[in-house]
Structure 1
Amino acid sequence: MEAASPISVHQQDPHPESSPNPNPNPLKKSFVTSLMEAATLRSPSFREDTYFVSNLKSSERKSLQELKQNLRVSSNEQVSMWGVSLLDGDEKSDVILLKFLRAREFNVEQSLQMLIKCLSWRKDFEADGIVDEELGFKELEGIVAYMQGYDKEGHPVCYNAYGMFKDKEMYEKIFGDEEKLQKFLRWRVQVLERGIKLLHFKPGGINSIIQVIDLKDMPKRELRVASNHILSLFQDNYPEMVARKIFINVPWYFSVLYSMFSPFLTQRTKSKFVIGKEGNVAETLYKFIRPENIPVQYSGLHRPADNLQNSLPKPASEFIVKGGEKVNIQIEGIEAGSTITWDIVVGGWELDYSAEFVPAAEGSYTIAVEKVRRLSASDEAIHNSFTTKAAGKMVLSVDNTASRRRKVAAYRYVVRKSTPN
């Protein structure tokens, strides 16, 4: 058994060092894991458009100008989308027009047809005012589809999980007839429109969102009709609005299907896909999204109650727990009478966790704040606090000595000193 690896942190140091990289001794990969890696690695990373007109090819700039001219000729009134006038000819309108051009590979005629149909749909659907509507889906908010936080590049993130519809009663309640389906589709568009309101529509700015799709327990056969409607709506009316699609909790057969159909997908479409390894939600999401912005059900540190705070979430520090390793996070320099509050999570847990306070005075007894306990893969982040009576340090321990599997983890803390009465 290896000795515990300490991560010593003075309570005023915002950048603690993480544990060293694991020793190179990988286990033999399963067939499914190899397929998933192949599906992910075969596609290069998506390079999002900057929307600077100066960076366009001459043929692309020409297409943009032609689309503007044709739109003016075909429109008898001012046309706008997401609060941006498309006939002003400014950089914001250029961003939107370039999205339609990119979706049709800069074919001006096809791009114009797509744009006109989209404008007509938005008018009929009353999409411009949908964000403020009360549609009555409280039980789905924060579960089925919702905007939460940003990725490391600043893109708003939309989470999607349809596992709750494996319950037949819930499925019938939401999708039982055509009227219910149409109302759900309206709600789903509302969620997307909320995310679009966060975009800049400026060259070099944030002009698209991230989609995280949770495939756990998804009843794919029952949801086929709804899924086709959603896909059609988004493809026809929200071109180039997604920078990346991250699939998590991926069943084994998904990677096989992806490998079969991958040759029929465009390179641009494939480059937006990230297919997470089975059972590695945290490791997949941490690559793109900081832990404090990831919901606790996905091995992050964000809880719905955090939305009630007016300030940005306190940044977390990430670290690695090697297989066969125990890591101690030591938060030092805590003064007497201070209250320390912390959050800690390990992706997939399946290890032992404990917390203790070690007084600085020689001969003092260590206080067991949280006794050693085994945490399962389904457990969410730990959130706790402790008020000290003496100066000392807090030690948070995660013991992975019983496993050979490397895991990603994150923690954060705040120390509030006591104030005299």
Structure 2
Amino acid sequence: MIEVRIRGVRETAVEQAVATLDTLAQDAELSLHCRDATLVERAHRPQIEWHLRGRRGSVGRRLRHALHLAVRTGEHNPHAGTVRLVRVPARLDEPRARRLARTRRAARTALSDHPLVLRRLDPDIHEVGRPSVSRGWHALAFLTLVVTATAICLLGAGLWPVIGLDNPRVGGPLVVLVGGYLLGGTHLAVRRTPTHRALPWLVPLAVPLAVPLVPWLGALVQRAYLSPFGVRPTPGKDGLGDVHAGLWVLCVFVAAALLPVAFLGWMRFLAPSLRVRGPWLSWAPAVTLGIGMGMAFSLLILHTAARNGAENRALAVAGRDIPEYFGVSAEYACVEPTSPETPYYGAPPPRNHPVVIFGQSGDRVELWDPAVRRKTSIRLEDARIRFVSHIDSPCKVAR
């Protein structure tokens, strides 16, 4: 009888272990079969960390020590920072105060013995405490997280020009702050991981994939913008407008997707002891949340484009010209059908006021009438079209 332990996913660990053992026996041509397979779970015992560190001196003494180190006239303090760490098993069924007192006594006993004399607990030199966490740096990291998330949300909602962030003097430092937080936190999260070693070839591979993706995302933004008018963007009309719109969506998606990962990296950097505590500091929740946030902010951009389209449609109804929107420029034309029996789709083409045209598709053109707020599709050969400069230009001379 031989006992073999094989790791696997908890839900199907038994089946995976049996299948793996059968495969290994078959490959090695052994007369071996499984009689009993049992799920064995590793017990995770809670532990409390206690750190041995040198006593903190006065501010003046620390400044003098730092000055001596800077000019190379002093030696490094061997007791600066945490010099030893012990973990004491804890029971969660006892009160917190009693648990801390008991584990502290056990930690002091463990710290009193060490082969190195300088690492033995000396009450005059050392102090025993919990993991030191700089609340100021954590508060700053969390505040930067809130600022970054707010900036991404405002960018997705198209509100940067409203609050003046389109000014380089105002928006430039914010972009540097957001980019530094995201890139720095992501680097801290992926360093010393297989992902870090794969980045040198993953990034060059992702850049060519983004080339066809950017115009497609821009076309989605233009389509959402034209949806209140009931017309479609002109196919084959690719320019800088849809590229800018596509980069808008891509930048917001990437920034939102990296935000939880960057926060994870900063937390692990500021508190290394949190690396093994809790599943919320693992990769799967951060990546899943990031992708979900990226998709949510991308949908926010499409909603923003549709809202801007509705606002510009209201401008046309009020008799005002429509501004350009990411390469989508409105033209105004007077339309006169060639005959009373001219076929069309939608509302009848008006004769006494201009209509809005967003480009033609093949041998047809889609018109939007601001008076009835409906569109018309008509063949180019069935109408005489004369373009005018403004939406309130007269059409009495159209023939």
- Relative to its length, the structure with more helix (as a share) is 2
TM-score, structure 1 length as denominator?
Answer: 0.21
TM-score, structure 2 length as denominator?
Answer: 0.21
- Relative to its length, the structure with more strand (as a share) is 1
